[in-house]
Amino acid sequence: MNNPHYNSDDERAADVIDIIIAGHETSANSMTFLLLELAKHPEEQHRVNQELLKLAPEDRNSCEHLRNCVRESMRLWPVTAVGPIRVVGRDYVVPACHDSDNTKTDQKDFFIPKGSLVFMPSIGVYHNELYFDNPESFVPSRWENPSEEMKKVFLPFSLGKRNCLGQSLALSEMQSILSRVLVQYEFSVLDEGTTGYFLTLKPEGVLVKATRRK
């Protein structure tokens, strides 16, 4: 806070927001959502625990099934639910959709003028049954054999020059913490709480009980 190299308090505040919101809230909330889903689905929790135990302790943070649980929870509960936000740099035409036989549907081309603010809410895409069967359910195994469409639309860290700077850190942080916690503890739901949104999607009032495994 006292670093003299900042040019203004706005710059200082921007860095504080980066650290607290971008760097901490995102991964902390993603892990809470996953622990809640596993507590709600004991059969899924049992499976990930068994998959982790098959591996040597030093290999557990690269457990593929845990990766699928993390993906599935980030799909159901994308912390950056409003998705990427951009100012359009030039006039842009989004072409009308085509049917699978490549004939035009009755939709019209869509014109976005230069300077428009656009965003693509990932929560809408991730809960759309066009891309995900049974989209409201927590099904980690859907990622064992994902369709090309699923891979194309699932972009929790976004794409392009301004994609998430911390994605490798976030993923290894989540794998490393969750692999340890899920081997040592069993989770059950005390209070499912609700979901809130302020800058990130967040679990509110969630209470899960952790019982040390024998």
* Interface ranges with ligand HEM (CB under 6 A): 18, 22-23, 26-27, 30, 79-80, 84, 156-158, 160, 162-166, 169-170
Q: How far apart are CA 45 and CA 39, in angstroms?
A: 7
Residue position matching structure tokens 């359910």? 137
CB of 155 to ligand HEM, least distance (A): 8
Beta bridge partners of residue 87, listed in sequence order = 117
Radius of gyration from C-alpha coordinates of the chain: 20
Instruction: Quote the tokens at residue 4.
Output: 């003299």
Find tokens 């009980």 and name the residue: 209
Sign of CA dihedral 30, 81, 83, 116: negative
Shortest distance, position 98 Cβ to ligand HEM, whole Å:
27
Min. distance of Cβ 100 from ligand HEM in angstroms?
29
CB of 30 to ligand HEM, least distance (A): 4
Least distance in angstroms from the C-beta of 53 to ligand HEM: 25
Q: How far is the CB of 184 from ligand HEM (least distance, A)?
A: 22
Per-residue b or e along 19-44, where b marks 16 or more CB atoms closer than 10 Å to that residue's CB: eeebbebbbbbbbbbbbbbbbebeeb
Give whichever of 30 and 68 is closer to ligand HEM, judged by the CB atom.
30
Complex with ligand HEM: residue 56 or 159, whichever CB lies closer: 159
Closer residue to ligand HEM, CB minimum distance, 158 or 195? 158
Q: Which residue is nearest to ligand HEM (CB)?
A: 166
Residue number with CB closer to ligand HEM (11 or 18): 18
Query: In sequence order, which ranges of 24-130 are alpha helices (DSSP H)?
Result: 26-40, 42-53, 64-76, 122-126
- SS3 assignment, position 110: strand
| Type and span of the H or E element at 203 | strand 200-204
| Nearest CB to ligand HEM, comparing residues 23 and 193 | 23
Q: What phi and psi values does residue 130 have, to the nearest 5 degrees?
A: -60, -30
Q: Which is nearer to ligand HEM, 128 or 172 (CB)?
A: 172
